[in-house]
């Protein structure tokens, strides 16, 4: 199993700079669409999804039960309840989680904090 992206792997400074506005309590997390593996960013503090890695002003909120977020690639609606389950790491949400390697290969590679690599170069 490949190591998953954790909070420590995310370059908060760069993400917040691109969002252009900071509420001050961001908690970012990467998830992927269980249907097509498309990766998107979540700010779980405000239940907001950032679907487009090149346009972080494009935000979708999923504050309420019954809300859905449309996958940018396959257009499937992703239910807020499922997203919350995945954020809590519940059993059965494995398909939602993103490996560091997958994130590095995605359009979100700029969001990776490079010095979080486990390998040392000494």
Would you tell me which residues interact with Zn ion (CB under 5 A)?
A: 33, 35-36, 38, 71, 73-74
Per-residue H/E/C for 71-106? CCCCCCEEEHHHHHHHHCCCCCCHHHECEHHHHHCC
CB of 70 to Zn ion, least distance (A): 9
Nearer to Zn ion, 5 or 71 (CB): 71
Nearest partner of 56 among 81, 22, 24, 6, judged by Cα: 22
CB of 54 to Zn ion, least distance (A): 17
Nearer to Zn ion, 38 or 50 (CB): 38
CB of 82 to Zn ion, least distance (A): 12
Nearer to Zn ion, 4 or 72 (CB): 72
Nearest partner of 111 among 44, 35, 30, 43, judged by Cα: 30
């Amino acid at each position: 199993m490949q190591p998953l992206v954790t909070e420590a792997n995310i370059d908060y400074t760069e993400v917040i700079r691109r969002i252009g506005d900071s509420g001050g309590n961001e908690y970012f997390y990467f998830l992927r669409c269980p249907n097509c593996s498309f990766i998107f960013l979540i700010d779980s503090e405000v239940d907001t999804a950032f679907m487009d890695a090149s346009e972080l002003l494009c935000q979708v909120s999923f504050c309420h039960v019954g809300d859905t977020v449309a996958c940018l690639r396959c257009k499937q609606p992703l239910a807020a309840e499922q997203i919350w389950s995945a954020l809590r790491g519940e059993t059965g949400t494995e398909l939602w989680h993103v490996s560091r390697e997958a994130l590095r290969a995605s359009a979100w590679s700029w969001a990776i904090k490079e010095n979080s690599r486990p390998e040392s170069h000494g």
